[in-house]
Every structure is written in structure tokens, then in C-alpha cells.
Structure 1
Amino acid sequence: MPNLLSELFKHNLWANLRLLDACARLEDAQLERKVAGTYGSLSDTWVHLVAAEGRYVALLSDQQPDQSFSEHTGFLGWADLGERAQHSGERLIALAENFDASRVLRGIRNGESFAIPAVVPMIQAINHATEHRVHIATILTQLGIEPPTLDGWQYGQDHLSAS
């Protein structure tokens, strides 16, 4: 029987990779397209989404974030982005499979100590990715491109069976 939390993160990875695949065929000018009410250009939004997932993994793993990839480094190509999305997605799934909801994360950020329930970045990871996938889908639609269906129904049809 699937673990609900890990299944949510499996859906998250599936949705990210499916949408990445749809965007990988775009021309450079399309990658820079911005639409009011969204994060920014397609390329900037993708970098932000994937870099943030890496930071959530680092926080939940008691590690330092990867400084070689962030919103400051910019878009390094679809292959790099896909590898990073795959890696962070798999790590989030692994974290979800053995998740301790009572765990408290402690550390220092920007010179200030913090203590937050570990469930907070797990919730944020799902919410954040969903929000920015919607931004990306909105931009694709404005470009006249039908974004892939990323909802739970499609994921269930593609990956889960009731047998």
C-alpha cells in the first residue's frame, strides 16, 4: 500500500518532469516570455522551482544548500535542470518515505537561529512546486501551447491501479 506522503512527492516529481519535457522543445525567445501575475520568465521560474527544491532537501537533510545552483546562476540548460529536478525529487520521496512528523529542524539562517517543525518545508515543497507549475502552464498557454495535464487524476491513471 502506498505511503500517502511519499505518493504526493512521487506526483510532484512526475509533474515536474512532465512539464520540463513540454518546455524542453521551446525556442530561446519563448523561454524569456513573462506573463503578469507569474514569477517571471519560463527559464527564471524553472530555475527558482528546482533550486528551491534543492534547498528544501538540504534543510530536511541537515546539509548546506548547493551554492553552485541558484536563482543567481541562471538557466544552465534543460539537461542540467532535468538532472537537478530528478535528484531533488527522488531525495524528497526518500525523505517522505521515512518521515518523522514530530521532528523539529534547528539551525541558523541569516545569522538568526531557527526552530521549525520538519513538516513545514515538506508542505512548502509541494505548495511551492504546484504554484510555479501553474505559472509555467499559464505562460505556455499564452504562447499558444497546451500544457500537459498534471493533476492527480492523470497521475493516478498513469501510475496507480486499484487492483
Structure 2
Amino acid sequence: MATGLSDFFKYNLWANLRLLDTCEQLTDAQLDAVFPGTYGSIRVTLKHMLGAEEGYAARSVGGFPTTPPLREDEEAPRSFAELRERARRSSEAMIAFTEQVTPEQLQVIQLLDEGTYRAPLLVTVIQFVDHGIDHRTQICTTLTQLGIQSPELDVWAYNEAALGYGEIKQ
């Protein structure tokens, strides 16, 4: 059953890949810079954001192959090729899932945080997208603080770049 939810994950993947393209050009010092009001460094925030997306995908689709899990506290930096692949895999799993999920399935209650928190599956689905927007914005704030032009990641930019729509020329 088509719910329209898959479009949110298509946008999420586009925004993640575009941000990774920008961040790949940064130096180690820039990737590790920390500014007040953000989650942490760009490197830590990317690993946190993409690792969480893998977890949200696993909870939503009922399992997800991630070996080893992406961890923000690991010392070794992940390659941008690996980060892209992980972003692609989790978003594509959610695209496929949301293209066939029913409204009734989205209301199934999940036990999260080792059984200490209850929420409908729909909340996990929404959290996947909201969490990414929040952390991409924090990374763009860090880029701005570093004097680097952040990529346009809003939905209007997605409309123009990925969907081919936009301003009507007279």
C-alpha cells in the first residue's frame, strides 16, 4: 500500500548524500571542530546520525544487516564511501518498507530502549526523518562557523535538484 511516506526517505537519502559530499572535502581539523549548540564535531555527528538511522531502520523493518554497527565513539574514522553506503542502505530499506506498509501496521506498539519505552511504529518512522533533519542542521551550523558554505538541504532544493521542478520561467 502506498502511503506517501517513502518520499520522506527519498528526501532524507538525497540530503544525507549531499551533505556527505560537502563534508568529504573537509580537513580532519574541520571534521573534528566543535561549536556550542551542536551535537558534537561533524565526524561524531555524522556517525551518530547514520548509526541511529540504521537502528531506526532495523526497528521498523524487523531487522537490518549492520556489521559492525556504526558507533560515534569509535576512534577510527569511517571512510566517506562507507558512510554513503550505510546512508543509502538504511534509507533504501525504509523506502521499500514505507511503500508497502499499511496504516494498521504503523499503529503496532513497539517496545524501545530495552523495553522501557512504548511507541507506535509510526513514531519510529517519523523519528528517522526528524532526527536526520536536526543533525544535518547542526552540521550546517558547524560548517557556517568554519566559514564554509553549507549545502542547500531544504525541501525546496530537493524539489529542484532531485525532482526537477522549481521556478517557472516566463
What is the TM-score normalised by the length of structure 2? 0.84
Deviations 1:126-147 (A, max 9, x none): 1100000000000001111111
Q: Which amino acid aligns with 1:124?
A: Q
Structure 2: distance between partners of 1:88 and 1:61: 10
Specify every segment of 5 or more residues in structure 1 that has no aligned partner in the other structure, as ranges. Answer: none
Q: What residue is the counterpart of 2:53 in the other structure?
A: 53
For residue 82 of structure 1, report the CA deviation from its aligned partner: 1.0
Q: Residues 40 and 108 (structure 1 numbering): CA distance in 2 closer, same or farther, change over 3 Å?
A: closer
For residue 24 of structure 1, report the CA deviation from its aligned partner: 0.2
Taking only aligned residues, the RMSD between alpha carbons, in angstroms, comes to 2.1
Structure 2: distance between partners of 1:126 and 1:5: 10
Deviations 1:46-80 (A, max 9, x none): 00000000001110122267361222435312111
For residue 109 of structure 1, report the CA deviation from its aligned partner: 4.2
Specify the SS of the correspondent of 1:160.
coil
Structure 1: distance between partners of 2:87 and 2:34: 22
Aligned residues: 160
Q: What residue is the counterpart of 1:141 in the other structure?
A: 144
Preserved CA contact (<8 Å) 2:6 2:99: yes
Specify the SS of the correspondent of 1:102.
helix
Q: What residue is the counterpart of 1:93 in the other structure?
A: 95
The answer as to 2:149 corresponding to 1:155 is no
Preserved CA contact (<8 Å) 1:106 1:113: no
* Identity fraction in percent: 41
Specify every segment of 5 or more residues in structure 2 that has no aligned partner in the other structure, as ranges. Answer: 166-170
The answer to which of 92-101 and 133-142 deviates more is 92-101
Preserved CA contact (<8 Å) 1:47 1:71: yes
Q: What residue is the counterpart of 1:71 in the other structure?
A: 72
Structure 1: distance between partners of 2:111 and 2:50: 22
Q: Residues 24 and 108 (structure 1 numbering): CA distance in 2 closer, same or farther, change over 3 Å?
A: closer
Preserved CA contact (<8 Å) 1:59 1:65: no
Runs of 4+ that moved beyond 4 A: none
Specify the SS of the correspondent of 1:116.
strand
Structure 1: distance between partners of 2:122 and 2:5: 11
Match of 2:126 among 123, 126, 143: 123
Q: What residue is the counterpart of 1:82 in the other structure?
A: 84
For residue 14 of structure 1, report the CA deviation from its aligned partner: 0.1
